[in-house]
A and B are shown apart, each in its own frame.
Chain A
Amino acid sequence: MKRLLPLIIGALSGLVVLAAMFFVPQGSAILSVVLNWVIVVASVALLVAIASLVLTHLRFIAKGKKGFLLNIVLVVSFITTLVLGILFGVDDPIFLRLVGAIIRPIETALLGLVALVMMSAAMKIFRERGWSALTVSFGVSAIVFLILGLGFLQNLKIPLLNEAIRIVEGLPMIGARGLLIGIGIGLLMMAFRVLFGMEGSENE
């Protein structure tokens, strides 16, 4: 029963939304209410996750686990930001600038590290994966798009070459479309499983 109830609730809520979307003028009000609930519940879920994160780090600090200095850093930065946000308000430009001054450089530098890692990965990818249709086409495609990214060929301004570049630039669309359709079908199947209570029912 403990597992049956969530399945029933999930299936019911899904069917209600599905019905509301099919009967558009009449079901809009119901859908609006349900979607507001979804937004609130999702936000609360996020808050619960944040609370759990902070509690975990507080527990680490209390136990004096190895590396608790970093836990202290996290908790201090969390509390400081929270206090400042409560004091100034979320929409305060100074507060936003301060938060931006911290988050933006770190995230940008982390993404920059990805470039360095990718450089190393580019060396190893063929050794690790060997030759196959996938790896060869991947390598050739990557090289071609890197060359195109340099802009040398485009700057030649040769009409025929430009046409060829247009065709080459359109090639990834084919694979992406196949992937999108495949993902869409998979998502559809998963959604139907949830709606009909099949997802997770095997654990019963």
Chain B
Amino acid sequence: MSEDHAELNLCPNCGKENLPMATRCVHCGSDMESLFTIFGQSQDPDEQSEDSLPDIIEEIRNDPSLKTPAELAPIPEILPAEQIDESLLNSEELPDWLAKVRERAQEEEDAIGDLASGTIAMDAARSEEGSAGVEGEFNAWINRIREKSQQENSVRARQLPNDSEDPDQVPDWLQRIRALQPQPEEEITHEVKANPSYMDEMPREWTDEALEELRRQSLAEDQEQETEPLPSASTIAEEGEIPAEPEMEELSEPVHKEPELLEEDFHNIPDDEEELQELLPENDLSHSSEAEETIAQEAVEDKPETEEIDAPQAEPDNQVEEALEEPGQGIPQQGNTQLEEPEPEESVSEESPEDAPIEPDEPEQTEPKSSLTENEPELALEGQDEEPEEEEQPTDSAAVPPDLLLLRDQQDRASLLASLIEQEGRVTAGKQAPRKPFGRAGRLAVALLLLIGLVVSILIGPAAMPADAFKSIPALALNNQIETLNENDQVLVVLDYQAATSREIESLAAPLLEQLHTQGANLVFLTTQPSGLFLAQSLLVQAGLPEVKQVDYLPGSYLSLLVRAMNPAISDSQDTLTQVKDLHSFRLVLLVSDSSDNIRGWLEQIAPWVESSNFAAVTTQMEAPVLSPYFNSGQLVGYAAGIADGNIGSQPAFSYRAYRVGLLLMLVMLLLGMISKGEADAIQREEERAE
């Protein structure tokens, strides 16, 4: 309890004790701003950028040589750089060690340490990206929370003297904390023991050797103590499974308690950016208050640091190990020490805004947040950034009261946040696990619908397609090209299709072949697919051509003909294998293929060498869009694709009615899909509006 008295400030007017956070004396009402500013709290948030203070805190903390002196002289350490300079110049109590530290910091290349500089650079990069509006909003929130915290400090200060008058009487806040912790007295006792003994042992004047010794001590302690209550970054990196930071461990608490809420937030926030923008100040509030008001005071009395150095190791080990092994149980106890009314929902409301909406999908939105919040998404990757935040855990009894007072105000806002987030989560429940329109039964129903529709259409009877059906431009061009052929003109027909598409392809190609044959063209057939050997028979029958017509298999497809296309004079031993001796003698090369890739191969490899021949194609409707650029560029003189181009519908074997029914059903399904999606979106919007 003596710690409480030691931390109270004396009023410059009446000389009575006040809380460190009190801006006015509770006894005489005089202004205590000068005392207040000594804690590094800027009166005007605009005077000091919100990210400079955490950076400086981190900067100072990351330097091991500064850690121990910081505990000896806590108040100057947390000052911003400019204020430190001023205070050191003006104060007669300027410690020599600090001057040496500053000198050494200027001399050393990396005075602030890689980690701190990296963090500062990261923060600077983020602050550049931040919008001015969000920053202003953030500052407004800071102002408000400071005002409220000062008011509450005043109220609290009126109550504290009563508590502190009797040293044996335990204050309310401490009782609450003890009720939250299994062995709170041990920790507090430990804290009380540690600091005075530490202070007695440490030299007042710091030499380089002493600083080096202190650094070595600190490093040795870090290595020895593998199980710290708040694990170091290296420990976390080694263990891997443990959350990287106390705050992260606290964040894991609501995950355990209300996992649905967080998951829902995770999915919902990106879709509602406006709401996210509204939430951001709330997020900033919770963290900025910690960063700029509470942390500035509490961090000086860091319990982890104290324990690392001075505390008997046997004492916290059991608790520490429990905390490490069971982050969901052990760590929240520390987190709960910050709360006056440590209810699970409040912890959720406090923590969920910072990890749920911002972390996964909108990292840019964290810009205006304090360094605490900014570091959180990256903790898993940059464990070294965790150290400053780890030390900010207010487990020291002296640090608790202002923190509790702040958190009371935070709780009001955080509870509002929690309700908002909870509502959002409900909305996105459908998005996270979208209801499937239909499963197996639905697919079966759709399939049966199509089958029944087709069968009925076929059974009704043939419905011929109009003979003068609308043909595509490439099909008309192909017809024109065929009509220009004279008798005995050589036409190479390359069969390059599979059995699956044979019905469509043959229906398209057969009328064209028949027309060519009628015009007296000399047809030469090749097949590049082995299946073409048996498919050609069917095609020739449909085209009314003699079935005995020879169809050669062309191994390697166009590669076999490439040399002959390049150099017609060449004669190789394979000339006897195909009827094709000279590609240049063909006026038309008709590619009957169900693969646009193969057609493209012919156009790329053969066509450039055989400019005297025209290339045309008969293909499926699926490949038509890919071939259209080649028709547009003139590489294909035409192509027939689809049911209309080949007059398949006019063939008696094909039910044009069934085809149309199938298209209609597909049209309906597509429209239903779009409508159902639109309806689902509308319902979702309605729910959001209602909530």
Contacts and interface: CB of A to CB of B under 8 A. Distances in A.
Interface in B552-608: 555-556, 559-560, 562-563, 566-567, 570, 572, 574, 600
A160 interface: no
A151 B469 contact: yes
Nearest to A180: B629
Contact of B664 (A21, A125, A131, A150): A150
Given A38-B559, A123-B446, A123-B672, A100 B534 contact: yes
Interface string B494-505: 000011111100
Interface in B495-526: 498-503
A2 to B, nearest CB: 29
A122 interface: yes
Interface in B197-218: none
A71 to B, nearest CB: 23
A127 to B, nearest CB: 5
Interface string A124-135: 111110110000
Contact of A151 (B502, B533, B644, B673): B644
A160 to B, nearest CB: 14
A90 B673 contact: no
Interface stretch (B25-33, B325-333, B437-445): B437-445
B685 interface: no
A173 B628 contact: yes
B663 A146 contact: yes
Contact of A116 (B450, B501, B533): B450
B434 interface: yes
A122 B449 CA distance: 14
Contact of A38 (B556, B632, B642, B673): B556
B535 A100 contact: yes
Nearest to A99: B534
A64 to B, nearest CB: 31
Contacts of B443: 117, 120
B434 A127 contact: yes
A110 interface: yes
Given A118-B666, A127-B437, A176-B626, A91 B533 contact: yes
A43 B554 CA distance: 12
Nearest to B560: A39
B567 A24 contact: yes
B570 A28 contact: yes
Contacts of B664: 150
A142 interface: yes
A127 B680 contact: yes
A103 interface: yes
A97 B446 contact: no
A43 to B, nearest CB: 7
A122 B670 contact: yes
B665 A29 contact: no
Given A24-B566, A35-B559, A143 B670 contact: yes
A43 B537 contact: no
Nearest to A178: B629
B125 interface: no
B465 interface: yes
B683 to A, nearest CB: 13
A125 B666 CA distance: 13
A147 B499 CA distance: 28
Interface in B84-115: none
Contacts of B574: 36
A131 B499 CA distance: 37
A169 interface: yes
Contact of B555 (A29, A39, A131): A39
Nearest to A118: B666
Central interface residue in B559, B626, B629, B672, by most chain A CB within 10 Å: B629
Interface in A90-116: 90-91, 93, 96-97, 99-100, 103-104, 107-108, 110-111, 115-116
Contacts of A119: 446-447, 449-450, 665-666, 669
A154 interface: yes
B473 interface: yes
A120 B442 CA distance: 8
Interface of B: 434, 436-438, 442-443, 446-447, 449-451, 465-466, 469-470, 472-473, 498-503, 531, 533-535, 537-538, 555-556, 559-560, 562-563, 566-567, 570, 572, 574, 600, 625-626, 628-629, 632, 642-644, 660, 662-667, 669-674, 676-677, 680-681
Given A131-B681, A149-B642, 11 more contacts: A32-B570, A35-B560, A116-B446, A119-B665, A119-B669, A122-B669, A154-B644, A170-B628, A173-B628, A173-B632, A180-B629
